[in-house]
Structure formats: C-alpha cells, structure tokens
Amino acid sequence: MTHPASGSPTGAPTGAAPAPVPPARRSGPGERGSPRRSSYERWRAPLGSRATALHAGAWWLWALGLATAASRTTNPLVLGLIVGVAGFVVAARRTDAPWARSYGAFLKLGLVVVGLRLLFSMLLGSPIPGTHVLFVLPEVPLPAWAQGIRFGGRVTAEQLVFAFYDGAKLAALLVCVGAANALANPARLLKSLPAALYEAGVAVVVAMTFAPNMVADVVRLRTARRLRGRPTGGIRAVLQIGLPVLEGALERSVAVAASMDARGYGRTAEVPPAVRHTTTVLTLGGLLGMCAGTYGLLAAQGAAYGLPVLGLGAASALAGLRLGGRRSVRTRYRPDRWGARAWLVAGSGAAVAGLLIRAGGVDPAGLHPGVVPLVAPTLPLWPAAAVLIGLLPAFVAPVPPKEASK
Amino acid sequence: MIRFEQVSVTYDGAAGPSVQGVDLVVPEGELTLVVGPSGVGKSTLLGTVSGLVPHFTGGTLRGRVTVAGRDTRTHRPRELADVVGTVGQDPLAHFVTDVVEDELAYGMESLGLPPAVMRRRVEETLDLLGLNELRDRPVATLSGGQQQRVAIGSVLTTHPKVLVLDEPTSALDPAAAEEVLAVLQRLVHDLGTTVLMAEHRLERVVQYADRVLLLPARGAAPVLSSPAEAMAVSPVHPPVVSLGRLAGWSPLPLSVRDARRQAAPLRDRLSSVPASEGARGSASRALPGPAPQTPAGLKYPASSAFEARGSGGSAPGSGAAPGLLARLLGRGRPQPAQPAVPAEPAEPAEPAEPAAGETARARNLGVRRDRTDVLRAVDLAVAPGETIALMGRNGAGKSTLLAALVGTLPPATGEVTVGGRTPHRTPPPEMVRHVGLVPQEPRDLLYADTVAAECAAADSDAGAPPGTCRDLVAGLLPGVLDDIHPRDLSEGQRLALALALVLTGRPALLLLDEPTRGLDYAAKARLVEILRGLAADGHAVVLATHDVELAAELADRVVILAGGEVVADGPTAEVVVSSPAFAPQVAKVLAPGHWLTVGQVAEALGAEGTR
C-alpha cells in the first residue's frame, strides 16, 4: 500500500477518505522525503482488500462499545457526540457494497423512534411531575377498570424533555448497530462462528439476502404493472404484487437450496458413536448447567454456587460445540485475521464503554441532566473526550478502495 | 464417465414419463451437447446426472445413473459434489455467498479442502475466467455475463470430473458467450473434464461439441451420435446447417469455417443474382408509411431454417402477414361498431398514429442512474412499420433505452416522445395504447390464476371489448387452454400470452426485451412470423436482443449501443455484415455478399432457377 512517490506525505490517499494523519506523526511541509516518512508510510491505514480487511468482529465490538456507552447516559449532547462519532467513522470507512447502504435506514429509524417516544408521551402522559404546562390535550374519559391509564390531558415541558432524552438514547443505540452493519459484512462474521454453528449461520445469511431480492422484485413488478396500464400505488396494487413477490421468494429459496445441495452443503464426516454421544452429553449438560447457574445467581440464596455452576456449564457447552465441529468437514477460505488494527478498533470501542461506565459512577449528574427542575444540559468535558476515542477506527482501519465502491 | 441404464423419469402427477429409454454412456473427456426442442426433458436428463433429479425435485427414477462409478440412487447430490459441478440457467439462483471470491471458494469449503489448496485454485480460476478484476465485488453488482462466469467458476474450483451446464450462454451477449465457450473447450481439451451441456442457441455451441445427444421428441429415446450425423436429422439446427442442407453440402458443415470452405461455388452462383434482390425482403419492409406492401416483399418466404415450426396449427404462412392483428381482432366479433377491417389487407389496422410522422422519437436522450450515465445523447427515430434491433453487450443500455421509451425511467436530459406524448408524464392507462413493452421476464406481466382471467383483466385495463385479448392469444398461439395457470405454460406460450396482453391496447410501438431467451427454434420462428405480421400492420417494433440470427431475420435497421451511446445505426445488412460479433452465420459464410438469412439465399436460388 505504497503511496505514489510524488504525493505529499500529508495528502489524502483517496478522494473519499479524510487524510488519516496521526497528529503525533504529522511532519512539517518542509520535511518531505525525510526518514520519518517511511515509518509514516508503514503506519498509515492500508488500502482495503481481502488481505488487509479488518475482522468483522472488531467492527461489531467497536459498535457495541459505543452502544454500551450510549446506554449509560441520557445527556443529549453526549448522545449526539456518539452518533456523530459513529457517523464520521462510517463516512470515512464504509464501502459501497449493498450491505453498507443500511446506515441511512438506521438513522431514519432512530428519528422515528424519537418521534414515537414523544408522541406516546404526549398522548399517554408521563409519571414525571412537571410545572411548565405547554398545552392541554382533550382528555378521553376512560372507564373505571382502566384507571391509572390516561389518554390526553396536560402536556408539560418536563415530560417531553424526559421522553426526548429517553428516545435519543434508544436512537443512538440503533445508530451504533447500523454503523456496525454498514462497516462489516455480516457474512464475514459468520466465518468466525464455531464449525458446529455454521449451518445455522448460513441459513441466517441466506435469509438476509432475501430482503434485498424481494425489494428488487417489488420494484420490477411495480414497473410491470405500469406496463399493463395499471396504477402502481394503492392497496390493490400491493395485494396483486404481494403474491408474485412471495412466490418468487419461495422459488428462489428452492433454487438456492438445490444449488447448495449440489455444491456439497451439509456433507458430514463419519464420527465414532462415542464422540457423538459425548457431544450430546456435553452440550445438553452444559446448557442445563448454565440455566441452573443463572438461576442460582438471580435467586436470593445460592449465589455461592451459582457462579461456579454457570462457569462449568459454559465450559462444557463450549467443549460440546468444539467436539460437534468434528462432524463438519468444512474448511475456511481466508478467514479474516485478527491483527493489530483489529485490536485498536475493538479496543477503542471498549475504552469508550469502560470510561463512560466509570464516568457514570463519578459524575452521574453530568451524564443524566435533571428534568425536574428543568435545566439546560451541559457537555461534561471528560466523558466527551472519552467518546472521541471512538474516532480511532477512522484513522487505523483500512481505506476502502475506489474500485470496490464503483 | 456417465452411464445411463434404462433410465426413465416420471414426475409425480405427470401423465407420462418426462424422459424414458435412456441407455447410453457419455464418454470421458468429451463435450456432449444435449439437443432437442423445448419440453423434451433436457433439463430433467441433466438433473439426473447431478442427482438433483429425483433427490431434490421428487418424481420416480427407474433404471440407474452412475457418475464416475457412483450410483445416483444411493448418493445424494451433496455426496456427488466433488465429481459433478452443476450450473443452471439463472446464475443469481446459484449464488450462496455475496462476494465473488467467497463464491468461488464455497464449494471447496464444503468439501473440506485445505486452505492452501483453496487459495491456489481460487487464483487459478480467477485467471482462467478473467475474473481477477472482480474478485472483491459483491455478486449482486455484476452484469449478467459476469455472473454466469462466476457461477461456472464456482463449480470449477472443486475440479469436478463432470460439468453439467443448462443453457449457460442464453443470457450472454455473443462476445461473452464466446468467452465462456472457449473456457469450456479449454477444460475439455486440457483438463479432460467431461462436459454435458444443453443449449438452445446451437449456432453458438454446435461446433464445439464432440458428441450430440439428440432428444427428438418427448418420451422418445435419445440418440448419441457425432454432431454431423445428429444435425443431418435434428429438428433443431443452426442456420449454417440449414444452409448446408439447402446447398446439399457433404459433409454437413457445423461451423462457419467448414461452411466457407465449401461455399465458393454457392458464392459464385449468388454473386450473379443482384444483391439488392436478395436483401429486398428487409428493404421493402423498411418503407415507412401505409404504402401497400409490394407483393415481392410480402412473399418473404418462410425460411427453410424453420421447417421445424410445428407446434401450432394455423400458422399464418408467408402471405398472411398484413392485417394479422386486424384479422385477429376482427374475428369473433360480428360486424357492428367496427368498419370492416379484414377486407383490405393493405390497410393498416388503425395504427394509433397517422402514419405520416414517426411513431417514436428520442432526441439527445440521457438517463442517469447512481451517478453513471446509462444512456448518453441517444438520438433515435422509429417509423411506423419499422423493425429495429438494439444490440450491444450486456449493460450497454439496451434495456434502459426501452424503459425510457415506455416511460418507466425519466430522461435526465433530452426528450422522448411516443405518439406525440411524453411517456413518463403520461398516465399508464393512456400510455398502454401507444407503447407496449414485453419485459425480459414475461412472467412479470402475469398476475392472475388462469389465462382467461389474465385476458379479461387485460381487456378492462386497455378498455378493449371483452374477448379481444383472448382472440389475440388464440391467433398468436393456438392451443393455450383457458383455465391453465400462467406459471405452467412453456416459455414460448408465456411469451405469446404476454405479447397478447400488451397488444390488447393496440400500441403503435411494440418493445421487446430479449424475446428469444429460452425459446427453441420452432417458437422463435413462430415469433418471427408474428412480429413480421405486426410490422406489416404498421406497428413499429423495437427489440433489444443478443440473438444475431433473430436480428438478421427480422430487423430493417440495427442500432448498436456501447457504453450508453449509439455507435452504429443503419440498415441491417450494412451494420451487421462487417461486424465480427453481430454478423449472423449466413453472412459470415457468404461474405462479402450481403446475405443474412437462409431464407434470402433460398429465395435467390429459386429466382435464379426460374430465370
């Protein structure tokens, strides 16, 4: 991934991506060609390809870290910062593959969630005591058995602000999931599953590819309706298109199943009966152990033996999975490697999560701005700085190549 | 390599066996072509080799099929995966993963090959099929030809001993098809792979075949013989074979090269006939307007290439062209409200546009999709009664041009007018009376449960009197039952039904997208007749096609698109004869003469004989 020799060391490698220049290594404009440059070249984010691709799990850990952080705060400024960080990384590092286009959909979904939360709060009222009445909706009188439920009535500023904070938290969580979806190919993640779970995973991935295919079918059939001179909107159109779309999906799934069968899906190796039985015992026993352990942890007594039983159960279930993998003859073609960059990406997400959890303990007021009485939220300095760590992937993750986005 | 022993297959609920009496051995390391009219069980026969018939499709298989010594009765498809590779008609239905490289590796992963071997074979296959540039691309973003190459590559990586291909080139443009076939030939010659392939487009494949497995009719026992022997008796054959039969050449040529070697005397004979006379068929049809067709033009012969027409009873023979639609529409309705149309064959049946002008016109048309210009500065005028073939490689913008003409895509620049209206701004119910499009997949047009319901809906959509559409169906293809589900129709019948639905609105402009995909020669000959009849009625016909033989048969004009621009536009003979990719076989054999079809040659020879 060498940069053309004529390019300046601070030049952006590709048009779309911002210049990934670690501040510590920024060299002055006069220092072109100095020995420092080679180390800079070495550390700069490589061009994305199969060989340099970041492990899909790293992206998911990063996104889950941000999501954990978002779940620890209701401060709209911090939440906005988290969404901004996720958005920046997505803008800098996503490819133009079909799965990478989901980010916008998740953003819209987040906005819908906020809107719904506000709407319900207005309609159904809220336990938040408020003094600033904004307006009064006509209240629907409900029968006696529905006491405790209110429909309509007073709407206070406090309750709306509370609902907004709450909705924003959920929206931020969704956006983080959307970012992971846009950055990591879901099928790649599958390659990292244990062999015994592979077949279930394939089913999930094949199912996921059906959504875009069905959307394409709907578009095609709507066009075809137009060709017959029928309106493309309206309930009747939906009904008439619906059946062929489902039919098409069914036919396609049968075709894919035939293709998978003809290409060796589901071939199994002969395993001695002893191994098979051990696998069953280990897996079932492990799952039972995990259930019992969890029950012990949650029950009032028994926390003492809960944890060890849970641990034993988990270990035996894992061993069962591993042994079960022996039945599968599958090998893996170029699985993603977990390298230094993957550690950095996953670590940055974990750091954000850890620091915000810690900040929640130290300064709960900053992360949960009060609603009663109504105060303007302020940006807590240290948690905000911690969230910015989440920007790291925008500089260390491989740059998506231009051709792949065309 | 593949041994069939008294094999017959009967699907559940079917009246008789789809295939029976198969008793033969497909030799190792040869390319065997499965030939026959559609519906004779070619796909079923191929399915028995991979084990998908009957393990996956159901039905009863009698007898025994063994592949490389493995009995398909006891081995399921997955257990045959390392000896048989299967590629079907639709590459998208074949893909399991979403990236090219993963797709190539999928089969090997299932077989459990070591990672180092997988890596090496993927690289080899990428080079073999020229896919290296596409290795990181999601398969959904590839063109049809690229997808088919990936599908073939994905079964090659397991190094199967037998490769089973069901119409691998029917969706490809001529150049991409050549590429795929060259790869197959290399596999046969260098690696000793046994290839079993079914294909309708014999003109593309027959010269590569070592053996031909001929299924003459449904339920008849197939015959394995050399290609020349099979072609001498086959009901389906490419134009070069028709020409050979016409000229009485022996041995029968299978490739253009063989034919050229024997063609010198024929070329001399034909050069004495004025070339204009030979090409007159298309030239006279190119005359715009309602001018009565000259008898010579109408007596355009039903070519000897299509003696296999069969399939339908009252074939509207050579002279029946004018007024076909008029007759179809006039029939079954006594007299009132309709001025007696059928009486005057020369009178076009109420073309929606007065013939003086042009049926459709695109000026400086540009269409953008996701930042790319799919069409750029396209100028096209379509005159009434004219047939235009749009050609060009996959993704050149043919379908997009049709979509712009029918109004489903708005132009980014320039303008389109069809019958004096702007298609994308005109409400669909009105537009269907001016332009009709039969899409690549005619099934998209069909919603109803039965043919009769479909026809009734079409009548009400177009505001036509009840029964109009049903009469059209009967006229286009007799023998389609009323209560049959459209899904159970054959490809040819489905196309005829879709065509009838579109024609119910009596559009002056008829657009067809890849109409011959999946059609055998008989159905194709039928389509050619229908379209000629419509053109003689004053309908303008624009078809996007890869089928050079169809274009040669039908088109007055050929427009070649490349990268969204028109790179050639002119009379068929001029555009096509000099082109290596788009010339029909007859033109290649008889070059530099301007002969396009066997029909023209037969007519010229006949004229010479009577002189």
The Cα B343–Cα B321 span in angstroms is: 14
Between residues B523 and A118, which one has the greater pLDDT? A118
Burial class (CB in 10 A: 0-12, 13-18, 19+), B414: middle
Does residue A35 have a pLDDT over 70? Answer: no
Residue A162's CB is within 10 A of a number of other CB atoms, namely 21
Is the pLDDT at B71 greater than 90? The verdict is yes
Please, which residues have CB within 8 angstroms of residue A26's CB and are 6 or more apart in sequence? A10
Choice between B575 and B180, residue whose per-residue pLDDT is larger:
B575
Half-sphere exposure of B178 (CA within 13 A, CB side): 7
Average pLDDT in the A261-278 region? 85
Minimum mean pLDDT range among A66-70, A136-140, B168-172, B290-294: B290-294
Q: Which residue of B has its CA nearest to A237?
A: B447
Distances (CA, A) of A268 to A194, A281, A325, A329: 15, 20, 10, 6
Between A27 and B244, the more confident residue is B244
Q: Apex CA B602: angle with CA B598 and CA B607, to 5°?
A: 150
Structure tokens at A229: 């001179």
Task: Report B:73-112 residues touching A (Cβ under 8 A).
Answer: 76-82, 84, 86, 88, 90, 92-99, 101-102, 105-112
pLDDT at A345 over 90: yes
Residue with tokens 């109504």: A374
Cβ pairs bridging A and B (under 8 Å): 173
Selected residue with higher pLDDT from B450 and A186: B450
| A232–B102 CB contact, under 8 Å | no
Running DSSP on this structure, what letter comes out for residue B318?
G
Predicted TM-score (pTM) of this structure: 0.75
pLDDT score, position A404: 41
Asked whether the beta carbons of residue A259 and residue B98 sit closer than 8 angstroms, the reply is: no
> Which is higher by pLDDT, B144 or B19?
B19
Question: Which residues in chain B have Cβ-Cβ distances shorter than 8 Å to A202?
Answer: 96
- Asked whether the beta carbons of residue A331 and residue B154 sit closer than 8 angstroms, the reply is no
Q: Smallest Cβ distance to A258: which of B56, B133, B135?
A: B56
Percent of chain B with pLDDT over 90: 34
Contact (CB<8Å) A227/B111: no
Question: What confidence score (pLDDT) does residue B328 get?
Answer: 53
Please enumerate in sequence order all residues whose Cβ is within 8 A of that of A159, keeping only pairs 6 or more positions apart, or say none.
Answer: A121, A125, A126, A128, A130
B116's CB contacts (< 8 A; 6+ apart) are none
What is the band of B449 on the pLDDT scale with cuts at 50, 70, 90? confident
- Position B335 confidence tier, pLDDT thresholds 50, 70, 90: very low
What does the pLDDT read at residue A28? 43
Whether the per-residue pLDDT at B42 is higher than 60: the answer is: yes
Cis peptide before B251 (omega within 30 of 0): yes
Lookup result for tokens 């020799």: A5
Q: Which of A209, A227, A333 sits opposite B437 (nearest CB)?
A: A227
pLDDT band per the 50, 70, 90 thresholds, residue B93: confident
What's chain A's Rg over C-alpha atoms? 27
Cα–Cα nearest to B187, from B215, B165, B213, B212: B165
Residue of higher predicted confidence among B589 and B275? B589
Q: Tokens for B611?
A: 């002189």
Q: What is the pLDDT of residues B151-163, one digit of tens each?
A: 989 998 998 999 9
Q: Quick: pLDDT tens for B166-186.
A: 888 877 778 778 878 888 888
The pLDDT score that the predictor gives to residue B336 is 39
Average pLDDT over residues B78-82: 90
CA distance B115 to B109: 9
Res A167 pLDDT > 90:
yes
pLDDT digits (tens, 9 = 90+) for B111-151: 999 999 999 999 999 988 888 999 888 888 887 778 888 99
Q: Is the model's pLDDT at B572 over the cut of 70?
A: yes
| Both structure tokens of A257 | 């199943």
Q: What pLDDT, on the 0 to 100 scale, is given for residue A23?
A: 43
The pLDDT of residue B536 is 92
For residues B553 and B572, the answer to whether their CB atoms sit within 8 Å is no
According to the model, what pLDDT value does residue B295 have?
Answer: 35
When the pLDDT of each residue in chain A is averaged and rounded to a whole number, the result is 81
Task: Give the residue from B472, B475, B496, B471 showing the smallest Cα distance to B486.
Answer: B496
Residues 143-202 of A with CB under 8 A from B: 185, 187, 202
pLDDT for A29 equals 45
Cβ contacts of B443 on chain A, cutoff 8 Å: 244
Q: Is the dihedral of CA A51, A52, A53, A55 positive or negative?
A: positive
In this prediction, residue A51 carries a pLDDT of 82
Q: Torsion angle of alpha carbons A66, A72, A74, A79, nearest 10°?
A: -10
The dihedral sign for the CA sequence A67, A72, A76, A81: negative
Per-residue pLDDT, B243: 92
- Write down the pLDDT at residue A303: 65
**Mean pLDDT of all residues belonging to chain B:** 82
Predicted confidence (pLDDT) at residue B533 exceeds the cutoff of 80: yes
